[in-house]
């Protein structure tokens, strides 16, 4: 463990027990040698385990008896060899002590945007190598001034060995004043703000013209923007769990229900009752929000779903056409890391604040593994033994830029962890960029079916190996028969799976176009059922059925088709949009499930259509549809009966009504239900699932 004030803590307890010796970071962790009487040594060992500072997570303590060497005094020694296995800490939000200094006119760091200490500040994003010491961070180019050096070397100071320590005299500087940046925001400008793991694009969240301009320039039509605010209670309804998540030291974006009276421009999050909000997490954010006085849109510095820009020259080039003003600084970002996004019920994106923290696997990999993930919401995962290191969110892996980012970030990760992978785990889809990258690595390959990876991720994060049943409801994933799957009931363990039930495939007229235009799928369903198709343009499109209509059993397509039939949305601008709006339409409307067996999606789409024609209200139909899918999914499990553990995974289970209803129905039937808590149910969790499967198959 490094960068969490652990060595100073060791120093302090060694002093207290009057022990001689030393502490140092070597590449594998912290090494302590202490010399003294038995009582003192026992007291020291006890304090070591029980009084560790809040950020320190002690995984293991190994103790050995040595011959006394006659040490005198206790020292913090320079670090040992580089390139070991010790974990780089995650970035931590500004702590309360540093915040007090930031706004204290008598403090020498008053209004200094880079204040930090052993308990807070940049870590992962500035570390260039292990062990974690200032020369191996992007702070290497800022020699300490005399005052900072005194603090850094004083064991009694709260900045004792705080590696990124800085002050206005010796540390990084802004490219423009906070006041000028805030003024630009007040004027309605778009400001590119250099943050921890990349650039954000910021604008006044209450000002429609500014937000609409940002959308137009960023080429992002409807996908919601996140907000940064000091007063979340004015914008959203928060329960205790959400409030705790919001102010946790990871400071994720938390997706919560918006208040009806929230002063937020319509273009921030069109068509959804949810708002993604976060609190400021760097001193620069705190100063900017204080000077601006309201809430800001804070969205990743990129166009659409490209990787976030993080290098200064690159940001100027890529964001120059979007931002009016750049609020930058001269502390380099060594690796990109996007904001994390969480719901109280499950993670949506596990990134800044959480990475590179390891997630355990229930089985140890006998050889080092890299798992390359899927395509959308791309991540990779590197495994040594039982430890799985999931990468930050990389964006959608379908552009040149993403391709390059994936390779850069993977190299940085492998170097940081000193891992040379021998095995690569990948999706079965032959055309995914990640699959092609996997082939290029020339390692032993483990192909993992997409939905098996989803299920394995959920099992593994709970420390389980199965066997279990798995309901995996998803947009799209390549099946072992070459068709697209995604409405699956599997029986699986970590190594293998069996497909027990699934949605019947429906044609996607026009292929990818049918994913962007769900009405096409709805039309194909209605035509198949012999019902009139209400869309005139179907005449032009139906030809595609003969030439380009791949089959898909994806649950996402079923939700899309029902959304189209109910007039919720006929075409989408981002993944999941139609399903999100269908969930919103259903709301809390009470409904009983219809008679339907998990399988024939066409008939369910048709039932929704007929109910609408019969004059039933749309909300009631949407609610009945949700309950029908949940009830049929639970019934399908009941039919199989065993094992009694059911995992729920796949992007469709981000739908809270579907998730809640399915879980409740399964539990009523006596099943034990596992859902995602550590990795996302969407494709951001796929690489971890692939890693779990590979580890298990290598066993
Ligand atoms: Zn601090
Ligand atoms: Zn200084
Ligand atoms: Fe998926």
How does pLDDT run across 549-606, given as a tens digit for each residue?
A: 999 999 999 999 999 999 999 999 998 999 999 999 999 999 999 999 999 999 999 9
Is pLDDT of 60 > 90?
no
At 680, list the tokens. 């996302």
The pLDDT score that the predictor gives to residue 699 is 76
Residue pair 121/159 in contact by the 8 Å Cβ criterion: no
* Residue 39: its H or E element: helix 38-50
Judge if 340 and 391 occupy the same domain. no
Among residues 433, 695, 487, 681, the alpha carbon closest in space to that of 596 is found at: 487
136 alpha carbon to ligand 1 midpoint, in Å?
20
379 close to 393: Cβ distance less than 8 angstroms: yes
Residue 85 confidence (pLDDT) above 70: no
In a domain, 251, yes or no: yes
C-alpha 354 – ligand 2 centre gap (Å): 29
Q: What is the total residue count of the chain?
A: 699
Question: Is there a single domain that holds both residue 517 and residue 424?
Answer: no
Compute the mean pLDDT over every residue in the chain, rounded to the nearest whole number: 93
Q: For residue 114, how far is its CA from the centre of ligand 2 (angstroms)?
A: 11
Query: Which ligand does the CA of 144 lie closest to?
Result: 2
DSSP calls for 73-100? SEEEPPP--SS-SPPPPPPBPPPHHHHH
Which residue among 76, 95, 110 closes a domain? 76
Last residue of a domain, one of 76, 106, 129: 76
Ligand 2 center to 357 CA (angstroms): 30
- Taking residues 137-146, report their average pLDDT: 97
What SS3 class is residue 626? helix
Reading the block at residue 159, the tokens are: 């900045």
368 and 449 together in one domain = yes
Cα 439 from Cα 19, distance rounded (Å) = 55
Q: Distance from the CA of 240 to the center of ligand 1, in angstroms?
A: 25
Asked if 575 and 563 touch (Cβ cutoff 8 Å), the reply is no
Mention every residue, 6+ apart, whose C-beta is less than 8 A from residue 43: 17
Tell me how far the alpha carbon of residue 306 lies from the centroid of ligand 2, in angstroms.
37
Q: Between the CA of residue 647 and those of 9, 97, 685, what are the distances in Å?
A: 42, 42, 14
Both 362 and 443 in one domain: the answer is yes
Predicted local distance difference test score (pLDDT) of residue 68: 84
Cα-to-centroid distance, 165 and ligand 2 (Å): 7
Ligand closest to 93 (CA) is 1
Tell me the CA–centroid distance for residue 574 and ligand 3, in Å.
15
Q: Report the CATH number at residue 19.
A: 3.30.70.100
The ligand placed nearest to the CA atom of residue 170 is: 2
At residue 84 the predicted structure's pLDDT band, cuts being 50, 70 and 90, is very low
Q: Is residue 286 part of a domain?
A: yes
Return the pLDDT at 510.
Answer: 94
Cis peptide before 586 (omega within 30 of 0): no
Strands 359-371 and 423-427: parallel
Q: Which residues of 407-437 are buried (b: 16+ CB within 10 A; e: fewer)?
A: eebbebbbebbbbebebbbbbbbeebbbbeb
Share of the chain above pLDDT 90, in %: 80
Which residues are found with C-beta within 5 Å of the ion, ligand 2? Answer: 145, 148, 167, 169-170
Question: What are the angstrom distances between the C-alpha of 216 and each of 178, 200, 303?
Answer: 26, 16, 10
Task: Give the number of the ligand closest to the Cα of residue 121.
Answer: 1
Strands 274-278 and 253-257: what pairing? antiparallel
> Helix, strand, coil shares of the chain as percentages rounded to 5?
35, 20, 45
Domain assignment present for residue 229? The answer is yes
**What is the Å distance from ligand 3's center to 453 Cα?**
9
Crossing angle for the helix pair 555-565 and 577-586, to the nearest 10 degrees? 60
Distance CA 449, CA 482 (A): 11
**Ligand with an atom nearest the CA of residue 162:** 1
For 296-313, what is each residue's pLDDT tens digit? 999 999 887 788 999 999
User: Residue 662 sits in which domain range?
Assistant: 506-674
- 647/520 same-domain check: yes
CA of 93 to the centre of ligand 1 (A): 8
Nearest ligand to the C-alpha of residue 119?
1
CATH for 583: 3.30.420.40
Token pair for 539: 């005449």
Residue 78, pLDDT score: 67
Per-residue pLDDT at 366: 96
State in Å: Cα 591 to ligand 3 middle.
28
Each residue of 282-303: b (16+ CB within 10 Å) or e? bbbbbbbbebbebbbbbbbbbb
CA of 112 relative to ligand 2 center, distance in Å:
11
- Using CA atoms of 385, 386, 392, 398 in order, give the dihedral in degrees to the nearest 10: 70
665 shares its domain with 690 = no
Confirm if 192 and 299 have CB atoms less than 8 A apart.
no
3-state SS, residue 674: strand
Compute the average pLDDT of residues 103-121: 97
Whose tokens are 């463990």? That residue is 1
Same domain, 184 and 306: yes
Q: Indicate if 665 and 579 belong to the same structural domain.
A: yes
CA 616 to ligand 2 center in whole angstroms: 70
Nearest ligand to the CA of 457 is 3
d(CA 338, CA 351): 6
Residue with the bigger pLDDT between 9 and 449: it is 449
The dihedral through the CA atoms of 225, 226, 229, 234 has a sign that is positive
> Does residue 478 fall inside a structural domain?
no
Answer yes or no: do 384 and 516 share one domain. Answer: no
Does one domain contain both 652 and 555?
yes
User: Which among 53, 76, 99 is the end of a domain?
Assistant: 76
632: nearest Cα among 672, 661, 670: 661
Identify the band that residue 76 occupies on the pLDDT scale cut at 50, 70 and 90. confident
What's the 10 CA to ligand 2 centre distance in angstroms? 25
Task: Tell me the average pLDDT across 440-457.
Answer: 97
Q: Is residue 113 situated within a structural domain?
A: no
How far, in Å, is the centroid of ligand 3 from the Cα of 679? Answer: 13
Q: Model pTM?
A: 0.92
Q: Residue 439 pLDDT > 50, yes or no?
A: yes
For the chain, how many structural domains are there in total? 4
Among all ligands shown, which has an atom nearest to the Cα of 172? 2
Does residue 482 sit within a domain? no
Give the Å distance between the CA of 119 and the centre of ligand 1.
5
Residue 168 scores a pLDDT above 80? yes
Instruction: Report the pLDDT value the prediction gives residue 31, as an integer from 0 to 100.
Output: 85
Tell whether 67 is covered by a domain: yes
| One domain, residues 549 and 643 | yes
DSSP bridge partners of 30: 25
CA–centroid distance, residue 4 to ligand 1 (Å) = 11
> What's phi and psi for 554, nearest 5 deg?
-70, 135
Ligand sitting nearest the alpha carbon of 148: 2
β-pairing verdict for 20-26 and 74-76: parallel
Q: What is the pLDDT of residue 322?
A: 96
Q: Is 50 exceeded by the pLDDT of residue 93? A: yes
For residue 668, pLDDT over 80 is answered with yes
pLDDT value for 83: 44
Q: Cα(108) to centroid of ligand 2, in Å?
A: 9
In a domain, 273, yes or no: yes
Q: What are the pLDDT digits (tens) for 219-258? A: 988 999 999 999 999 999 999 999 999 999 999 999 999 9
Q: 403 CA to middle of ligand 2, Å? A: 39
Of the chain, the percentage scoring pLDDT greater than 70 comes to 97
pLDDT of 166 over the 90 cut: yes
**From the CA of 435, how far away is ligand 3's center (Å)?**
15
Q: What confidence tier does 86 reach under pLDDT thresholds 50, 70, 90?
A: low
Mean pLDDT of 311-326: 95
227 and 277 in contact (C-beta within 8 Å)?
Answer: yes
- Report the separation in Å between the CA atom of 148 and the middle of ligand 2, taken as the mean of its atom positions: 4
Ion ligand 1 — residues with CB under 5 Å?
95, 98, 117, 119-120
Examine the pLDDT at 82 and tell me if it is beyond 50.
no
Structure confidence by residue, pLDDT tens digits, 482-532: 999 999 999 999 999 999 999 999 999 999 999 999 999 999 999 999 999
Q: Which pLDDT value is given to residue 27?
A: 60
- Note whether 632 and 693 are same-domain residues: no
Which structure tokens are listed for 481? 């028969």
Torsion of CA 603, 608, 613, 618, to 10 degrees: 180
């Amino acid at each position: 463990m490094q960068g969490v004030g652990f060595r100073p803590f060791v120093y302090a307890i060694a002093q207290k027990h009057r022990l001689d010796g030393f502490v140092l970071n070597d590449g594998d962790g912290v090494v302590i040698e202490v010399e003294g009487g038995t009582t003192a040594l026992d007291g020291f060992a006890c304090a070591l385990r029980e009084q560790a500072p809040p950020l320190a997570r002690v995984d293991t303590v190994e103790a050995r008896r040595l011959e006394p060497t006659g040490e005198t005094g206790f020292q913090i020694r320079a670090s040992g060899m580089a390139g070991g296995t010790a974990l780089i800490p995650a970035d931590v939000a500004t702590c309360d002590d540093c915040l007090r200094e930031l706004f204290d006119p008598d403090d020498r760091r008053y209004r200094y945007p880079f204040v930090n200490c052993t308990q807070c500040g940049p870590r992962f994003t500035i570390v260039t190598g292990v062990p974690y010491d200032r020369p191996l961070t992007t702070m290497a180019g800022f020699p300490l001034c005399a005052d900072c050096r005194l603090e850094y070397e004083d064991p009694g100071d709260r900045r004792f060995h705080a590696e990124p320590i800085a002050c206005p005299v010796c540390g990084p500087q802004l490219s423009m004043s906070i006041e000028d940046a805030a003024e630009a925001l007040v004027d309605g400008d778009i400001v590119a703000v250099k943050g921890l793991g990349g650039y954000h694009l910021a604008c006044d969240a209450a000002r429609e013209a500014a937000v609409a301009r940002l959308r137009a320039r960023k080429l992002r039509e409807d996908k919601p923007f996140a907000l940064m605010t000091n007063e979340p209670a004015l914008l959203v309804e928060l329960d205790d769990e959400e409030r705790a998540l919001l102010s946790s030291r990871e400071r994720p974006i938390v997706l919560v229900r918006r208040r009806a009276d929230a002063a937020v421009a319509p273009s921030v999050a069109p068509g959804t009752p949810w708002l993604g909000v976060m609190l400021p997490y760097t001193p620069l954010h705190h100063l900017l929000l204080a000077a601006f006085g309201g809430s800001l849109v804070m969205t990743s510095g990129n166009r659409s779903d490209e990787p976030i820009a993080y290098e200064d020259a690159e940001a100027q080039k890529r964001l120059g056409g979007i931002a009016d003003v750049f609020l930058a600084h001269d502390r380099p970002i060594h690796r990109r890391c996007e904001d994390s996004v969480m719901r109280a019920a499950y993670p949506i994106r596990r990134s800044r604040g959480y990475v590179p923290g390891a997630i355990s696997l229930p089985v140890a990999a006998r050889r080092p593994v890299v798992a390359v993930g899927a395509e959308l919401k791309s991540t990779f995962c590197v495994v040594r033994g039982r430890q799985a290191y999931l990468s930050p969110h990389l964006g959608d892996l379908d552009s040149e830029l993403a391709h390059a980012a994936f390779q850069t970030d993977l190299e940085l990760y492998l170097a940081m962890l000193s891992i040379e992978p021998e095995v690569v785990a990948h999706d079965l889809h032959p055309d995914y960029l990640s699959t092609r990258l996997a082939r290029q690595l020339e390692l032993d390959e483990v192909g993992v079916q997409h939905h098996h990876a989803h299920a394995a991720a959920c099992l593994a994060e709970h420390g389980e190996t199965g066997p279990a049943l798995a309901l995996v409801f998803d947009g799209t994933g390549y099946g072992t028969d070459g068709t697209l799957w995604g409405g699956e009931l599997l029986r699986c363990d970590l190594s293998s799976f069996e497909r027990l039930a699934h949605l019947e495939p429906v044609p996607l007229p026009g292929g990818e176009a049918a994913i962007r235009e769900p009405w096409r799928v709805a039309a194909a369903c209605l035509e198949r059922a012999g019902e009139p198709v209400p869309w005139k343009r179907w005449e032009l499109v139906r030809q595609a059925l003969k030439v380009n209509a791949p089959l898909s059993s994806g649950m996402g397509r079923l939700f899309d088709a029902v959304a189209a039939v109910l007039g919720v949305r006929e075409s989408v601008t981002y993944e999941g949009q139609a399903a999100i709006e269908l969930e919103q339409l259903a709301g809390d409307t009470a409904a009983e499930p219809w008679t339907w067996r998990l399988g024939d999606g066409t008939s369910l789409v048709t039932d929704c259509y007929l109910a609408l024609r019969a004059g039933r209200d749309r909300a009631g139909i949407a609610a009945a549809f949700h309950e029908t899918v949940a009830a049929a999914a639970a019934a399908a499990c009941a039919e199989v009966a065993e094992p009694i553990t059911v995992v729920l995974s796949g992007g469709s289970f981000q739908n809270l009504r579907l998730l809640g209803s399915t879980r409740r129905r399964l539990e009523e039937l006596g099943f034990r239900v596992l859902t995602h808590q550590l990795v996302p149910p969407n494709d951001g969790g796929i690489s971890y699932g692939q890693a779990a499967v590979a580890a298990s198959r290598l066993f």
